[in-house]
Amino acid sequence: MQTLNVELGERSYPIYIGSGLLDQAELLAPYIAGNSTITVSNETIAPLYMQQLQMNLSGLKNCQVVLPDGEHHKTLDVLNQIYTGMLENGSDRRSTLIALGGGVVGDMGGFAAASYQRGINFIQVPTTLLSMVDSSVGGKTGVNHPLGKNMIGAFHQPQCVVIDTDTLSTLNDRELSAGLAEVIKYGLIRDTEFLGWLTENMSQLMRRDPEALAYAIYRSCQHKAEVVADDEREQGQRALLNLGHTFGHAIESGMGYGNWLHGEAVAAGTVMAAELSQKMGWLQLDEVAEIKRLLAAANLPIDPPTSLSPAEYLGYMSRDKKVQDGVMNLVLLKSMGEAVLTKDYDTDALKAVLERM
Ligand code: NAD
Ligand code: GLY
């Protein structure tokens, strides 16, 4: 097992990464304060891993809430099912919520924990590659609104993150690829050495080589932990983790939640951000081509959907959380391995990128 720490003073917490961690009861025990837990999962993951997780919770009063599966269920309405389960089972302020699942379960479980009785402890047990390398770390929680992605939420850090890499064995290939979009993101925004490693090892990752996957997860979590420790509330550099996300969120919202996976939308959005960066004179054409090759090698889409008009893109993009005082900020690439958050992009170049689609 490998351990990383998210350094946030008294709210610091460990990330445990390894094989077989779901069977290690002693890992969770120190992070459960009271005598009751509530495990939130969904109808796909619960049959696979709920029982295994529950074995770690003997002696505690535990209730389970099993949500419907899918991004389109990441809503305030479905969130209410968690509160109802907690109230029916007498969860109190000392209860600990355990989110067992991908980013949707983690974001919703985290938001329920942030808001139930004004905040209770929670633990992230991510089961998709995307949630292992990104969403389970850093305390961003929330749900979607029909008009915008992740528009309702809170920052609420977990007590610990337990990444059992064995759970990836049941994840389908499309979801594995979606997770790789966020892994590639770390290389593009802050680590050219990792980018080189990813280029060389993409076929091993696609073949699910356990060592390659463990390294990619560890390195990604290391980046995420560092960024979050420096800028927990996204006052500055944490925004750089959103490379491709402003375009991507427009794709997710515009195409209907769940039709494009988050990672797929981020991949196509990353290409759009790279093309705009090239038009700004920051990236070379062959670097844009290199980015496309890497994303394509991970079986990710590099072309955005053609059914959204430039005006529709701009409409969704203008509701992004990086909009400040009505001005849209974008994460672009100054060079390979160096991202920048800027409002000083050329709007004609942005329109040209959107129109090319
Ligand atoms: P997801 O949670 O929808 O999971 C993808 C699919 O895989 C689901 O059908 C799920 O049931 C299934 N699944 C999960 N684990 C499995 C396993 N081990 N075996 C078989 N099937 C499994 O999607 P995701 O990609 O994990 O997360 C995407 C969500 O994360 C989006 O809502 C996005 O906004 C959010 N997100 C949040 C942050 C953050 O910082 N909080 C960061 C990135 C993404
Ligand atoms: N996924 C972006 C962030 O956590 O800030």
Q: 138 in ligand 2 pocket by Cβ < 6 Å? A: yes
Structure tokens at 147: 């008009």
pLDDT at site 53: 96
Average pLDDT, the chain: 96
Q: What is the pLDDT of residues 131-183, one digit of tens each?
A: 999 999 999 999 999 888 899 999 999 999 999 999 999 999 999 999 999 99
Average of per-residue pLDDT across 51-66: 94
pLDDT at site 339: 98
Residues 6+ apart with CB under 8 A from 331: 189, 239, 240, 242, 243, 244, 245, 246, 273, 322, 339, 340, 341
Q: Nearest 5°: CA angle at 110, between 10 and 315? A: 115
Please report the atom of ligand 1 found closest to the CA of residue 168. Answer: 18
3-state secondary structure of 40: strand
pLDDT at site 325: 80
**What are the DSSP E strand ranges found in the chain?**
2-6, 13-18, 36-42, 61-67, 96-101, 121-126, 140-145, 148-155, 160-164, 330-335, 338-342
Structure tokens at 148: 């915008």
Structure tokens at 112: 């329920």
pLDDT at 241 over 80: yes
Task: Name the closest ligand to CA 242.
Answer: 2
Average of per-residue pLDDT across 40-66: 96
pLDDT at 312 over 80: yes
Locate tokens 């808001």: which residue?
115
Average of per-residue pLDDT across 91-108: 98
Res. 318 pLDDT band, cuts 50 70 90: confident
Q: What is the pLDDT of residues 100-127, one digit of tens each?
A: 999 999 999 999 999 999 999 999 999 9
pLDDT at site 323: 82
Q: 144 in ligand 1 pocket by Cβ < 6 Å? A: no
pLDDT at site 322: 76
Nearest to 177 by CA among 113, 112, 260, 84: 260
Average of per-residue pLDDT across 289-303: 98
pLDDT at 324 over 90: no
Q: How far is the CA of 107 from the centre of ligand 1 (A)?
A: 9
Task: Name the closest ligand to CA 136.
Answer: 1
- Centre a 10 Å sphere on the Cβ of residue 122 and count the other Cβ atoms it contains: 29
Q: 139 in ligand 2 pocket by Cβ < 6 Å? A: no
* Annotated catalytic residue within 234, 252, 264, 275: 234
Q: How far is the CA of 352 from the centre of ligand 1 (A)?
A: 32
**Residue type present at position 250:** A
Residues 6+ apart with CB under 8 A from 298: 177, 180, 181, 184, 202, 205, 206, 267
Res. 226 pLDDT band, cuts 50 70 90: very high
Q: What is the pLDDT of residues 195-224, one digit of tens each?
A: 999 999 999 999 999 999 999 999 999 999
pLDDT at site 320: 77
Q: How far is the CA of 45 from the centre of ligand 1 (A)?
A: 11
CA distance 327 to 306: 25
Q: 18 in ligand 1 pocket by Cβ < 6 Å? A: no
Task: Name the closest ligand to CA 175.
Answer: 1
Query: Structural domains in the chain?
Result: 2-170 (3.40.50.1970), 173-356 (1.20.1090.10)
pLDDT at site 164: 98
Ramachandran region of residue 300, left (φ > 0), alpha (ψ -120 to 50) or beta? beta
Q: 322 in ligand 2 pocket by Cβ < 6 Å? A: no
CA distance 249 to 262: 8
pLDDT at 25 over 90: no
CA distance 334 to 183: 19
Residue 300 phi/psi, 5-degree rounding, is -105, 150
Q: How far is the CA of 128 from the centre of ligand 1 (A)?
A: 6
| pTM, entire model | 0.96
Q: How far is the CA of 91 from the centre of ligand 1 (A)?
A: 26
CA distance 66 to 271: 36
pLDDT at 72 over 80: yes
Residues above pLDDT 90, as percent of the chain: 92
